[in-house]
Amino acid sequence: MTAVMFATDHVGRVAGTSEQKEPAVLTDSKDERDIYRAIVRIARAMDQRDWAVIENIAVPEATGDFGTGPLRSATEIIALLRNFLDDCGPTQHMIGNVLIEIDENTATSRAYVADMHLGAGDLAGQFFRTLGDYHDSWIRTSEGWRLTNRTKKHNGVLGNIAVLAHASSPDATRA
């Protein structure tokens, strides 16, 4: 077996051609960056109540579970988030310790989330915090990486859950 080597110039083009080779490590890095940005964009969209962003990142048939049972579509996921956040005071979802595994056209990610929800109206001055772990699944589409599933694992809570506008019990979903 003979190995064939291609010389490339300083921008990665195969010598003597306009063909550009993209090393696998650069592709993986770009894919990881794209997924990481989508995770952050979802967190910011929740805080800004910009539900169209989440609708654009998730596939229509995306599934999820935030602690109240299975959700079977992006529409259901967004409705659940809106139920808890639309009438809540300001929120901030901080993302960290993100791990992304890519397998060609699918990927999984895990990301810590520490979120703060401030009360509004009669609950002004109160707060509700959660510590959790988002477990996500992704698929590569012609429009880029799209969320296919999000499950939130809750590790701790602090404060008054009533700050979430429609929370009914300590076991209610924490966005």
Quote the CA–CA distance of 10 and 109 in Å, as a whole number.
Answer: 33
If pLDDT is split at 50, 70 and 90, which confidence band does 175 have?
Answer: low
**Average per-residue pLDDT for the chain:** 87
Q: Determine the pLDDT at residue 150.
A: 98
Quote the CA–CA distance of 120 and 156 in Å, as a whole number.
Answer: 22
Query: Is residue 100's pLDDT more than 50?
Result: yes
Q: Measure Cα distances from 1 to 4, 6, 146 in Å.
A: 10, 16, 40
Q: Determine the pLDDT at residue 109.
A: 98
* Tokens at 58, concatenated: 């998730």
What is the separation of C-alpha 137 from the centre of its chain, rounded to a whole number of angstroms?
A: 9
Task: List Cβ neighbours of 114 (8 Å cut-off, separation of 6 or more).
Answer: 93, 94, 96, 129, 130, 131, 132
Quote the CA–CA distance of 153 and 2 in Å, as a whole number.
Answer: 51
Query: Is residue 33's pLDDT more than 60?
Result: yes
pTM comes to 0.81
**One-letter amino acid of 65:** D
Q: Which of 173, 86, 98 is nearest to 136 (CA)?
A: 98
Interstrand relation of 58-65 and 144-159 (parallel, antiparallel or unpaired): parallel
- Write phi, then psi, for 121 (nearest 5 degrees): 60, -125
Q: Which of 128, 127, 118, 130 is nearest to 154 (CA)?
A: 130
> Residue 76 in 3-state DSSP?
helix
Per DSSP, what are the bridge partners of residue 114?
A: 94, 131
Query: Is residue 9's pLDDT more than 70?
Result: no
Average of per-residue pLDDT across 158-171: 76
**Residue listed under structure tokens 């989508």:** 38
Q: pLDDT by residue (tens digit) across 128-161?
A: 999 999 999 999 999 999 999 999 999 999 999 9
